[in-house]
């Protein structure tokens, strides 16, 4: 599965406008075959022992992963059919990281309004960085009240 997903990632980078439908169909077919092989392997294994009679029967970690990959197949492979969807969610995690660090280091915010202000500033700077703008210049212009210059540069890019 790892090799298949890395192959799919390579296709995503090779065809940024969209992967050909026949390639997507083949990758999806291989994905389903790998899932079926894995599920048949886990069904042939002896069940895990459990203490007592209550609760559901526990499964192995790999079996649980395969079931999730099967149940959420359309979500896992969405990057193949939609050009705007990235292969990973690393950028979203990076964008949230500063908020989580702020929460852990200083214990959070004293009020909801401060949290909203912090999120707005982070969003503003993150967008400027993603647009390739000079952050010091953007901050200077924002403090001078010239946010329109920043917004105009985003809409023209």
Last residue of a domain, one of 81, 102, 127: 81
Are 116 and 74 in the same domain? no
Are 106 and 66 in the same domain? no
The overall pTM is greater than 0.85: no
pLDDT tens for 36-90 read 999 999 889 887 777 777 777 788 888 999 999 999 999 999 999 998 888 887 7
Does residue 118 form part of some domain?
Answer: yes
For residue 135, the enclosing domain spans 92-156
Are 69 and 131 in the same domain? no
Are 74 and 98 in the same domain? no
Are 44 and 9 in the same domain? yes
Are 75 and 128 in the same domain? no
Are 56 and 96 in the same domain? no
| Residue 5 CB neighbours (<10 A) | 17
Does residue 117 form part of some domain?
Answer: yes
The total of structural domains in the chain comes to 2
pLDDT tens for 6-22 read 999 999 999 988 899 99
Q: Can you give the pLDDT at residue 99?
A: 72
Are 113 and 138 in the same domain? yes
- The 3-state secondary structure of the chain, one letter per residue: CHHHHHHHHHHHHHCCCCCCHHHHHHHHHHHHHHHHHHHHHHHHCCCCCCCCCCCCCCCCHHHHHHHHHHHCHHHHCHHHHCCCCCCCCHHHHHHHHHHHHHHHHHCCCCCHHHHHHHHHHHHHHHHHHHCCCCHHHHHHHHHCCCHHHHHHHHHHC
pLDDT at 145 over 60: yes
């Amino acid at each position: 599965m790892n090799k298949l997903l890395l192959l799919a990632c390579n296709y995503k980078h090779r065809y940024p406008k969209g992967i050909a439908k026949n390639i997507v169909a083949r990758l999806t077919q291989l994905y389903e075959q790998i899932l079926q092989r894995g599920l048949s392997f886990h069904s042939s294994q002896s069940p895990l022992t459990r203490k007592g009679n209550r609760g559901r029967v526990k499964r192995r970690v790999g079996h649980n992963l395969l079931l999730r990959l099967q149940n959420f197949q359309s979500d896992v492979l969405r990057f193949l059919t939609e050009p705007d969807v990235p292969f990973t969610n690393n950028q979203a995690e990076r964008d949230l990281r500063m908020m989580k660090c702020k929460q852990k280091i200083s214990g959070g915010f004293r009020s909801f309004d401060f949290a909203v202000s912090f999120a707005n500033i982070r969003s503003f700077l993150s967008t400027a960085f993603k647009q390739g703008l000079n952050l010091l210049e953007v901050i200077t212009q924002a403090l001078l009240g010239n946010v329109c210059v920043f917004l105009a540069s985003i809409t023209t890019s």
